């Protein structure tokens, strides 16, 4: 219990770092603030050690998540003079984001909302013939059935027109998917309710369509198309929703700050998660445009989906763990 007691006494230090970051941001990091910058370095190293201890001793997820966000903001502030680097982007997406997501209740809530509604409406649509018509409308269902009347394997894989169309559709999918994701995040400003609404509406529509298409003659063509890119695309929606929920939660629990300051803190802390979602949307769009729509065998598409799912699980369970250990060893 010594570690727990020590960390409990360190809350004033965390608050000091939080306030100092906000002060320096408001001052736009003027050169005259050298003493504050030096103090920032001291606090940053200290809180890195606290974060390592909090993770090692399984402190409450709320505390670990707060420290992750605080360390991330301080890291960005300390090294901001180096300018943008792809290495920093990769670190945020591959290291910071999975550490945050593992300890974020918002992710678990987003998973429950999205996949819970998706599975529920898919089962209802598959088991009740008229259910899908009432949810998404007969016209949309007829359009979906018409789209998948012709098997994908009948396409000409070597046609230049086909390749050009794949490129155009990949660009369309990127724009469409990232728009959905950013909407999930941005609408979190309405106390997180907006993010829940966007996730729920997408889950209901997609689940209903998936369930209905399983009962029609075009089922094989439909699932041949959606299987490969599904894991990345659906998970990206969940990540975006979790980031939006976290931002909305900042308006509810301010941790002693103003609501605007708390909102800004949580929005900044959610950026690595948003970045991870955008990367997943890009990957899903690439697969959708060049693999899902191609006449390659379904076994390969299924293998890609299985690999994507395994990679996502490894990312969430293992991503960033080695970096957290390294930080603790350097500060010991």
Question: pLDDT (tens digit, 9 = 90+) per residue, 163-191?
Answer: 455 455 555 556 666 778 788 888 888 88
Give the CA distances from residue 11 to residues 46, 147, 167, in Å, rounded to whole numbers and listed in that order.
12, 58, 52
| Domain residue ranges of the chain, discontinuous segments joined by + | 2-83, 105-318
Round to whole Å and give the CA distance between 38 and 310. 43
Is the pTM for the entire model greater than 0.75? no
> Bigger pLDDT: 72 or 329?
72
Q: pLDDT tens for residues 143-155?
A: 888 888 888 766 5
CB burial of 245-268 (b: ≥16 within 10 Å; e: otherwise) equals: bbbbbbbeebeebeeebbbbbbbb
Contact 209, 147 (CB under 8 A): no
Can you tell me the mean pLDDT for 88-103?
Answer: 83
Per-residue confidence (pLDDT) for residue 301, from 0 to 100:
94
For residues 274 and 165, what is the distance between their CA atoms, to the nearest angstrom? Answer: 29
Whether pLDDT at 332 is above 50: no
C-alpha distance from residue 153 to each of 156, 224, 325 (Å):
8, 10, 49
Residue 32 has pLDDT above 50, yes or no: no
In tens, the pLDDT along 33-42 reads: 556 667 777 8
């Amino acid at each position: 219990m010594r570690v727990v007691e020590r960390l409990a006494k360190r809350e004033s230090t965390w608050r000091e770092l939080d306030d100092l970051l906000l002060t320096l941001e408001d001052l736009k990091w003027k050169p005259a603030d050298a003493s504050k910058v030096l103090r920032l370095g001291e606090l940053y190293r200290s809180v890195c050690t606290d974060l390592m201890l909090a993770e090692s001793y399984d402190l409450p997820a709320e505390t670990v998540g707060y420290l992750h966000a605080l360390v991330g903001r301080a890291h960005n502030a300390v090294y901001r003079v180096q300018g943008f680097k792809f290495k920093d982007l990769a670190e945020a997406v591959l290291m910071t984001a999975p550490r945050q997501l593992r300890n974020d209740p918002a992710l678990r809530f987003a998973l429950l909302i999205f996949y819970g509604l998706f599975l529920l409406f898919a089962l209802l649509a598959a088991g009740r013939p008229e259910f899908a018509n009432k949810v998404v409308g007969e016209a949309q269902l007829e359009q979906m059935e018409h789209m998948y009347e012709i098997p994908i394997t009948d396409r000409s894989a070597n046609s230049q027109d086909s390749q050009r169309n794949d490129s155009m559709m990949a660009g369309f999918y990127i724009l469409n998917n990232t728009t959905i994701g950013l909407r999930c995040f941005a609408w979190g400003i309405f106390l997180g309710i907006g993010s829940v609404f966007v996730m729920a509406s997408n889950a209901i529509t997609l689940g209903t369509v998936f369930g209905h298409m399983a009962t029609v003659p075009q089922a094989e063509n439909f699932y041949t198309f959606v299987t490969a890119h599904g894991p990345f695309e659906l998970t990206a929606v969940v990540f975006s929703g979790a980031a939006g929920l976290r931002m909305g939660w900042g308006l509810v629990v301010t941790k002693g700050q103003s609501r605007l300051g708390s909102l800004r803190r949580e929005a900044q802390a959610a950026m690595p998660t948003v970045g991870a979602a955008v990367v997943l949307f890009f990957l899903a769009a690439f697969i959708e445009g060049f693999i899902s729509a191609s006449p390659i065998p379904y076994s390969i598409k299924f293998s890609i989906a299985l690999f994507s799912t395994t990679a996502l699980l490894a990312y969430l369970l293992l991503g960033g763990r080695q970096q957290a250990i390294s930080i603790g060893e350097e500060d010991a």
